[in-house]
Amino acid sequence: MSLTELSITELHSRLARREVSALEVARAHLDRIEALDPMTVRAMLTVTRDHAERQARAADARLTAGETAPLLGIPVVLKDVLTTRGIRTTAGSKILERFVPLEDGTITQRLAEAGTIMLGKSNMDEFAMGSSTENSSFFPTRNPWDLDRVPGGSSGGSAAAVGAEFAPFSLGTDTGGSIRQPGALCGVIGFKPTYGRVSRYGLIAFASSLDQIGPFTRTVEDCALVMNAIAGHDPCDSTSLQAPVPDYTAALQKEPSLKGVRLALPREYFDVEGMEPGVEAAVKAAINQLESLGAELGEVSLPHTRYGLATYYLIAPAECSANLARYDGVKYSLSIREPGAGLWDVYERSRGEGFGREVKRRVILGTYALSSGYYDAYYLKAQKVRTLIKQDFDSVFEHYDAVVGPTSPTVAFPIGAKTQDPLAMYLNDLFTIPTSLAGLPGISVPAGLSNGLPVGLQIIGKALDESGVLRIAHAFEQSTHWHTLRSPIAQMDAATARSA
């Protein structure tokens, strides 16, 4: 078995026994990326071979000294919205194409301290605005299950990198579903923690009250290991929660059982126009499997779900219009200045050429929603509906341990199929947005195939109950084989591709 096929847990075991070096592991993944990525999925914006090899040598020194930390010597890919000292961080935008941060973000630093090896930065929708990674200012990423289809977004590069076996895990960000939806479409685990559970310091902001960092992995156990490393309070982030962080792996049981666990099935997540029959069938089969493991099921209503999309597309653009005001062509972003041009000319040219179409659409929408005379009618009302959506979940969690349903109403769709219809694109996040608005943890786990493409099952938990979500997801995973399926690109041999 190739080193690139192994999970974090399997790699850790081999590294701890010194059967393989961290440098060998890093080079195996780097060679695979360089041989396959440019001609297939195009998951990577920047590959950091020299940096990765330095980190691998440092990891080997720690391993030789007897250290056996769970992530020591494990490769990782970071979404290019997480700042990395001395390595360009573009947020998928031309306006930051040449931006090289002076310091690491908190999570980048925590992973480095844990001994991980950063292979590079992954492609994404510009400033995390999109559901397909077609809004990248550089190039679209392709799905490792079908290169003619999207990987989801906005963290499509991170999801595709794990699905193509370029790395055993990656990090993405989730604002309205940008970890869970691409996780579902690429057939990998995608986990969004509770808002504030993971520090956002060093994350280039899209919508500050919604953005949250989380992992993509191949197994739930690997997800728990990564969460152990990245969760916890950070004094540099004012939204970071001062709550104890448990050992997430302790929640995972050896025998798959959900006896006594109560799972809610929201009517609004199933009776939906536009859900593909294959997705619905796979999710219902997954729910039957949860019941066979001993879970108690109950139908519930989350009545304000139907307002989630409209609410999100007022709050998120409003916040992005404020956050992106800093990219004005004066400080560190793209600056287009002509002789004799005034300040407003610099603003207009720099932002006009630096921002892509979707970013401009959302900045304009958000600025309008915050403008005088419209603030109360739009933004303030959206915040009130957000509270109602959270109260819907609170009511359900008085009687149930988690909510389950589809992650995405469809499987991966063809590249270009929805680029001319923004509303159709926005509907991809129909089931993930309410979770983000309520600040709750949610995970997507592989739950079947429809027309040969992955389907994701979403499990949503109470605030700060990541352990409960991981326990349910792990029990389901251990009782099914869906997580063991490999994409066609994952099955490609890098050496053969290189010689071809």
- Cβ atoms 234, 247 nearer than 8 A: no
Token couple for 106: 């908190």
Torsion of CA 355, 407, 198, 189, to 10 degrees: -110
> What is the chain's alpha carbon radius of gyration, rounded to the nearest angstrom?
21
Token couple for 61: 């020194």
| CA–CA distance, 475 with 294 (Å, rounded to integer) | 10
Angle between helices 106-114 and 220-230 (to 10 degrees): 110
- Cβ atoms 185, 179 nearer than 8 A: no
- Cβ atoms 204, 457 nearer than 8 A: no
- Cβ atoms 184, 408 nearer than 8 A: yes
| CA–CA distance, 453 with 448 (Å, rounded to integer) | 8
| CA–CA distance, 89 with 97 (Å, rounded to integer) | 7
- Name residues whose C-beta falls within 8 Å of residue 430's C-beta, 6 or more positions apart in sequence: 272, 308, 309, 409
DSSP assignment letter at 376: I
Token couple for 434: 């309410």
| CA–CA distance, 159 with 151 (Å, rounded to integer) | 7
Q: Is 344 exposed, middle or buried (0-12, 13-18, 19+ CB in 10 A)?
A: exposed
- Cβ atoms 139, 123 nearer than 8 A: yes
Outline where DSSP puts E strands in 363-461: 402-406, 442-450, 453-461
Q: Which of the following is catalytic: 170, 178, 333, 436?
A: 178
Active site residue 170: no
Half-sphere exposure (CA, 13 Å, Cβ side) for 461? Answer: 21
Q: In angstroms, what CA-CA distances link 245 with 112, 121, 239?
A: 19, 28, 16
Q: Which of the following is catalytic: 7, 21, 79, 121?
A: 79
Q: Which amino acid is located at 366 in the chain?
A: G
Active site residue 79: yes
| CA–CA distance, 161 with 368 (Å, rounded to integer) | 37
| CA–CA distance, 11 with 168 (Å, rounded to integer) | 9
Active site residue 360: no
- Cβ atoms 433, 443 nearer than 8 A: no
Of the candidates 395, 386, 385, 393, the one whose C-alpha atom is nearest the C-alpha of residue 461 is 393
Q: Which of the following is catalytic: 7, 131, 137, 154?
A: 154
Residues taking part in catalysis = 79, 154, 178
